[in-house]
Amino acid sequence: MTELRLSAFAAHRGTVVPLAPLTLLAGPSGSGASSVLRAYEALSRLAAGASLAEVFPDPAGCVPEGAAPDRQGRRGFRIGCTADGPAGPVRLELAVQAEPTLRIVGERLTRAGQTLLSTALRDPGRPALQAAWHTADELPVRREQLPDDRLGTALLPLRVAGRTPGQLQVLAAAEQMVVALRPAFACEPRPHRMRTPVPPGEGLLRRDCGNLAAVLHAARNGQGQGQGQVYRYGHGRRHARLVALANAGCARPVTGIDVERPADGLFRAVVARGDGPGTPLERLGDGELRYLALAVALLMGPGADPADGHSEVPQALQTLTVLADGLDRDLDGQQTRELLTAAASASAAGHVRLLGTVTEAGAARARGTAGAAVVDLEP
């Protein structure tokens, strides 16, 4: 993803946000930094096949303030993005009606000025859009109906045969857009949730990071199932990097990260302190917990460790975009610098991308971090 466009969304009108592998958004309160992350996550979920209602539970809140309804009482919003890759820069534009009913009213996928897919609402009484896509065949355009609650670009691989050069162009552009958008994770650590022991069986980090202990255990690939045992999170490079980050960002030295499973069967994470007693996760401060959760999110994305990669998986599919609203919230300067340095290293290697919001102090530190791009937003 190289660009996000908020043509008319929440506090934004005509906002264009360039996206680097490590992008930090800064600006005063009311500048709409959080809305940028919200728009990115919405496009990502739509690309993954989610419905419009799942992605926008409060669509009226996405309509720009003061936007007047048209003669039919309709109001809506528009967002878009650009994904670069083998097919070249591909642009997606999406127009959504929020009122009186939530529905997509138009979508356009273009490459090099050529429209590859366009949809339009022809009959307001039907839950469908008239779609047309490029074929370069005897009939230069194929026309079908698509549902008005799903992203048409994500549906194209199921609809386009790929028999003609034109169809192959459409498929390549659609797949490039979907592949670029889909791997995104909104990370919003909630320290109070991370202090509660959790049951096993959760290998994917939740948005609030409340299952951090279970995730650290799952990284051991299910080894050591007995009660009363202690599990060491990993033995490779990711573990070493995580411990190094924890040591740099915690108040006392950290030599390891363990996961205990007492007789009650619940997992509890413990920060090891050398030969002395470890510190249970629930005893860490809010800043330390947020710092640790964000470090795990950055280090455990797809392909975070080259040894974990699989040759049959395209490199683009191994790149996760972490969305971190308030990246430096509750963090001190040292913690912020360490996280930014780790994110810059991971993004330079192509393993993880980061789009986050920061305070002015965080933005100043980001400007001093090689590889970080700061976008200043205005109210």
pLDDT band at 236 (very low <50, low <70, confident <90, very high): low
Q: What is the pTM of this model?
A: 0.90
Q: How confident is the model at residue 137 (pLDDT cuts 50, 70, 90)?
A: low
pLDDT computed for residue 304 by the predictor: 35
Beta strands in the chain, from DSSP E residues, in sequence order: 3-9, 12-18, 22-26, 75-83, 90-99, 103-111, 114-120, 128-134, 141-147, 184-186, 229-232, 256-261, 268-273, 276-280, 320-324, 352-357, 373-376
Kindly state the percentage of the chain with pLDDT values over 90.
66
| Rounded Cα distance, 118 and 128, in Å | 13
What's the pLDDT band for 123 if we cut at 50, 70, 90? confident
How confident is the model at residue 225, as a pLDDT?
A: 38
